[in-house]
Structure 1
Amino acid sequence: MSNRSWFYAANGQQQGPYPEAQLRDLITRGAVGADTLVWTEGMSGWQRAGEIPGLVPGGSGPPAYAQPGGPPPVGAGSYAGGALSIDVSIWELLWRSIVFVIGMVLVIPSPWVATWYYRWVFSRLYVPGRPNLAFTGQPLDIWYVFIAIGVLTYVGSADLYYLQYLSIPIQAVLAWMVIRWIAANLSSNGQQLPIAFNGSALGYIGWQVLLYVSFITIVGWAWVVTAWMRWICRNIDGTRREVIFTASGLEVLWRTLVFVIASFFIIPIPWVLGWYARWYASQFALAERGTMANA
């Protein structure tokens, strides 16, 4: 492998070829990361650097199968589908999440803080076949939605039960609008993606209400969340592959309980937050349309 020449993708452009020694130097300096797409002769397609055994410290993955010729076009997926993943450090995830919560509580900065947070999250998200994923939404696109969400954070402190119940469908509609906004503002390699979330507002309200009711069963909420995520995935259109949610209700239940219980002890929060975020992201995957996902 030491005599190979490597290519890597940056800003939607193919860079290289570079001798392996130079590529490793780029990795050391941070110019090439574990999520950067790379290719060398003998590989069937572009892969993340972290998936190449021995290339990135701590990285591992299946060996590439030989295929003659030059590198495929940047952005061409090396396989039809696969699980999503997120590459975040526990401390960065923690402080950014804290800033996000504070921004929502303060109401006025919520549109800017939310946009800033979503841009960071999607820049750290790896989607098979969609290199350099980015969120392109602007703070003032739906500023009124975030202001309303911020205001509703104070409803729970009100000693008026009817007001709290009334806020449930309102919160659902606001969350539905945020999801539609996010889906419509995703890009890959600088090109806008034709993605849309077409689930109905009424359907989203129904799931929100069902979630609240399911807490009566103590544990039933986990299966509601699982079914809800699958409904959301089924209503994502504009992609040549379908998005699926692979977690089972039992997995959602025990992992969420571990996260909540550990958070009561304060100190473990950064670690369990990173653990839970990485697991949750990995439960979303892309598959050829028509593939049945059983969980």
Structure 2
Amino acid sequence: MASWFYASEGKQQGPYPEAQFRDLVSQGVVRPDTLVWTEGMAGWQKAAEIPGLIGGAGAPPMIPTAGGPPMRAGTDQPLTADFSVFGLLGRTIVFIIGMLLVIPAPWVAVWFYKWITSHIHVPGRPNFGFAGQPMDIWWVFMANGLLTYASFTGISFAPLVATVINAFLAWMIIRWIAANLTSNGERLPISFQGSAVGYVGWYLLLFISTITIIGWAWVMAFWMRWICRNIEGTRREVVFSGSGWEILWRTFVFSLASSFIIPIPWMLRWYGRWYVSQFALADRGAVNHGF
């Protein structure tokens, strides 16, 4: 017997047995434009897009063949991404150019984050998105762009100072991003509570660990876990499962293949999709609003 979920006011409702779900359809609770999900579906879809569900209550709803399960207690549900090959490459290039030009940085950053989040699928959170605006922290992005030129000042300690300031600015950006994540157009009550000192410390440790050639990958893995532990306002805990070894060998393959230029678009998507999939949601047993 199929179990169905539907989205209402940015929250996941369900599961409902098929018979009860049909009643919700007939009562108008589930409308043609309501996003619904059942096991076997690749993602959330409008009810009207599923043959036999709307206007065909006498027949069982058709269940698509591909997909993954909704969030279940005690299991980790990974995030997924459907980045297109040239879509990700093109936007990454524009993002880098926008940061180097400094003035367009806030607009380019928001444009980039909106596209990225719209292509990430979060279990139980349909239409994942981003609501930040360019003028929210415009000066942070412009300062970030300006700091890329620190090494050209001729001042010996300028790059080190720029690195510390960049770390602090990155901390501000991650807090801003977390506060502006949305589902079905509504902001999620999420916040990043990691301290500025802690974030800057991890940033500098990652920078220093590059001396070891390979140690940076393990620092990155632990840093991601620290970030996840400091995400609050979620009913489900955000976890990062990637290991240092996995990050290392994938980065090596990415770098090696990209040296041939032509494979860059495909390697960028391969790496990006894998990285997103290492973040997952796990039930923490609390009943809060959020993810």
The TM tier, using the shorter chain, reads: 0.7 to 0.9
State the match for 1:217 in structure 2.
212
Partner of 2:260: 265
Provide the rounded CA distance (Å) in 1 between the counterparts of 2:223 and 2:267: 23
Q: Percent identity?
A: 57
Deviations 1:235-272 (A, max 9, x none): 00000111000001000000011111212111110000
Kindly indicate whether the alpha-carbon contact (under 8 Å) linking 1:7 and 1:15 is maintained by their aligned counterparts in 2: no
2:137 maps to 142
Deviations 1:106-129 (A, max 9, x none): 000000000011011111110011
Displacement of 1:161 after TM fit? 3.1
Partners in 2 of 1:92 and 1:234 — Cα distance?
31
* Distance apart, 1:280 and its partner CA: 0.3
CA distance in 1, matches of 2:180, 2:107: 15
**Aligned with 1:103 (options 76, 79, 98):** 98
Asked if structure 2 preserves the Cα contact closer than 8 Å seen for 1:7 and 1:16, the reply is: no
Q: What is the rounded CA distance, in whole Å, between the counterparts of 1:122 and 1:220 in structure 2? A: 30
The amino acid that maps onto 2:72 is Y
Matches of 2:220 and 2:181, distance apart in 1: 24
Q: Which 10-residue stretch deviates more, 258-267 or 245-254?
A: 258-267
**Residue 47 of structure 1: aligned partner:** none
Bigger relative contact order, structure 1 or 2 (CA pairs below 8 A, ≥6 apart)? 2
State the distance in 2 between where 1:152 and 1:143 align. Answer: 14
Residue of structure 2 in register with 1:153 after alignment: 148
| 1:127 and 2:115 correspond | no
1:285 paired to 2:275: no
Given the alignment, which residue of 185, 194, 203 partners 2:198?
Answer: 203
Specify the alignment match of 1:36 in structure 2: 44
1:246 paired with 2:241, answer yes
**Which secondary structure does the structure 2 equivalent of 1:243 belong to?**
strand
Q: Which amino acid aligns with 1:252?
A: I
Superposed CA deviations along residues 171-226 of structure 1, whole A, max 9, x for unmatched, are 10000000000000111112221100000000011001111111121100000000
Equivalent residues of 2:71, 2:77 under 8 A apart: no
Is contact 1:8-1:16 (8 Å) kept? no
Relative distance call for 1:36 and 1:208 in structure 2 (3 A) is: same
1:166 aligns with 2:174: no
Q: CA RMSD in A?
A: 2.9
Q: Say if 1:11 and 1:113 are closer, same or farther in 2 by CA, change over 3 A.
A: farther
Contact residue 9 and residue 37 of structure 1 kept, 8 A:
no
- How far apart are 1:7 and its partner, in Å? 9.8
Question: 1-side partners of 2:88 and 2:153: how far apart?
Answer: 31
SS of the residue corresponding to residue 111 of structure 2 reads helix
Using the alignment, how far apart are the partners of 2:159 and 2:9 within structure 1? 46
Structure 1, unmatched stretches of 5+, are 18-32, 43-50, 54-59, 65-76, 291-295
- What is the CA–CA distance in structure 1 between the aligned matches of 2:82 and 2:191, rounded to whole Å? 25
Q: Which residue of 1 aligns with 2:72?
A: 79
Give SS of 2:136's match: coil
Number of equivalent positions: 245
Partner residue of 2:171 out of 176, 187, 190: 176
